[in-house]
Amino acid sequence: MAKQIYISIYLDTRRTKANGKYPVKLRVFNQEPRKQMLYPTIFDFTKKEFQNIWITTKPSRENITIREELQSLVTMAYEKSSKITPFSFEEYDKSLITIKSDQQNLILKYKEQIDRLKALDQIGTAQNYASSLKSLLAFNNSSLGKEAEILHFREITPLWLEKYQKHMVDLNNRSLTTVSMYLRSLRAIFNNAIADKDIEPELYPFGKRLYTIPRSNGVKKYLDKSKLKLLLQAVPKTSEQEKARDFWFFSYFCNGINIKDLALLKFKDWKNESISFIRSKTKNTSKSNIKIIKVPVNKMAENIILKYAKISEDPNDYIFSIVDYTDSELTKFRKIKNFTKFINQNLKKLAIDNGLTNEISTYWARHSFADIAIKSGKHFEFVGDAFGHSNIKTTQAYFAGFDDKTKKEFSDQLMDFD
């Protein structure tokens, strides 16, 4: 008997998903009667990715695994069709429920998003999503008393989220800041699934009269002017402590620039006694409103550049030798993470030796800049612009974590119309 069913992998370019890619589907063609049906899968690719993974006869090593997964999907679909005699799409639909249900599987959607972020070289964000998924699964497994292979969107209800929050804070002694970070990732997964029409909007568990993600209860910690002076004039015991302090103050002098953005500064960003950059944290989430932050380079900041920079005539070379242009994004991520750790460890030693708190970290440079700016009479619009905030609400939310005195000075400026 001639082959009746033909099954293939098909890139459905009729519509793009929320991530800008096209859904990959199983195309099942029946010769008698002639009929074709498309079935969803968990995969999505750009046209170029589809070409490099599926169409090409020689996929790269990194694409072979994905190609094998697609091939196993086709094999499984053929196996299911061979068990239906005579073949009918009605019976075939029932046999493919497992494939369709993958779209309802929160775990697979998380992994899909993590892979997408890695492909976009957003390594840090990908790790945040991975930590979020790990935390949610740990809670779910402890509730069930066993490890679950599937976690459906419909299982995540407002009550489930309330229990998760209680579990994290009361039993695991985790902060609301951590809970908030993990659940913002979950909320984004829900939003993407709804936008892609993989789940119904009615399953959305967040919002008014549902579950509200807690606001961070973290208090902004900083050094006031007298302590900044003490740290600046402190005598380091080692060259490592000196370097850590120098880069901490460079961050402070440059609007509290974070260490990743500092490490990625190029010589082309430094001209006319200023540096210009786009915050890595926001450039992938605010594409329609990207803000370029321009920071005047004062004499102390310039001296730090001249002290540590490897002067190059190539404008695309990095100012500091924290990362190299030949590094992969994962290598850059690890180097920046290690350099941040280096600063924090050595700065704490210097701080303790000079009667300052051992809690100091790179984050304090940003908060110290904001505190000094407000207390020296700068308007909150200045701070928001210096930080690259896209709207005033972001700046207001940022200052919510400061002490009452700074909040009062910030609030008073709201009444200053001169």
161 vs 94, which has greater pLDDT?
161
What the block records as the tokens of 314 is 């190539």
Q: Are 263 and 320 in contact (CB under 8 A)?
A: yes
Confidence of residue 308 (pLDDT cuts 50, 70, 90): very high
Confidence at residue 398, expressed as pLDDT on a 0 to 100 scale: 54
Helices H, strands E: what count in the chain? 18, 6
Q: State phi, psi for 36 to the nearest 5 degrees.
A: -130, 140
Confidence at residue 412, expressed as pLDDT on a 0 to 100 scale: 56
For residues 216-231, give the mean pLDDT: 82
Closest alpha carbon to 386 in 256, 221, 248, 247: 256
Confidence at residue 144, expressed as pLDDT on a 0 to 100 scale: 79
The 10s digit of each residue's pLDDT in 263-301 is 999 999 999 889 998 888 776 655 556 778 888 899 999
Confidence of residue 1 (pLDDT cuts 50, 70, 90): very low
Helices (H), 362-403: 363-375, 380-387, 392-399
CA 348 to chain centre: 28
Instruction: Please give the torsion angle defined by the CA atoms of residues 396, 401, 404 and 406, in that order, rounded to the nearest 10 degrees.
Output: -60
Report the relative pairing of strands 35-45 and 270-271 from DSSP bridges. unpaired
The 10s digit of each residue's pLDDT in 129-158 is 999 999 999 999 998 777 777 888 989 999
Domain positions in the chain are 5-103, 106-203, 226-413
Which of 54-68, 69-83, 251-265, 397-411 has the highest average model confidence (pLDDT)? 251-265
For residues 307-320, give the mean pLDDT: 91
In this model, does residue 414 exceed pLDDT 60?
Answer: no
Confidence at residue 240, expressed as pLDDT on a 0 to 100 scale: 98
The 10s digit of each residue's pLDDT in 374-403 is 776 666 666 666 666 556 565 555 555 555
Confidence at residue 378, expressed as pLDDT on a 0 to 100 scale: 67
In this model, does residue 261 exceed pLDDT 50?
Answer: yes
Q: What is the DSSP string of 42-105?
A: EEEE-HHHHIIIII-SS--HHHHHHHHHHHHHHHHHHHHHHTSSS--HHHHHHHTHHHHHGGGB
What is the Cα gyration radius of the chain?
A: 27
What value does the mean pLDDT of the chain take? 85
What the block records as the tokens of 74 is 């086709």
Confidence of residue 406 (pLDDT cuts 50, 70, 90): low
What residues contact 18, with CB distance under 8 A and at least 6 apart? Answer: 191, 192, 195, 196
Residue 270, helix vs strand vs coil: strand
Confidence at residue 133, expressed as pLDDT on a 0 to 100 scale: 97
Asked if CATH classification 1.10.357.10 holds for the domain at 226-413, the reply, yes or no, is no
**Distance of alpha carbon 279 from alpha carbon 35, whole angstroms:** 52
**Distance of alpha carbon 205 from alpha carbon 315, whole angstroms:** 49
End-to-end CA distance of the chain: 89
For residues 102-116, give the mean pLDDT: 85
286 vs 197, which has greater pLDDT?
197
Closest alpha carbon to 331 in 65, 121, 120: 121
What the block records as the tokens of 112 is 């899909």
**Distance of alpha carbon 233 from alpha carbon 231, whole angstroms:** 6
Q: Percent of the chain beyond pLDDT 70? A: 84
The continuous run of DSSP H or E covering 30 comes out as strand 22-30
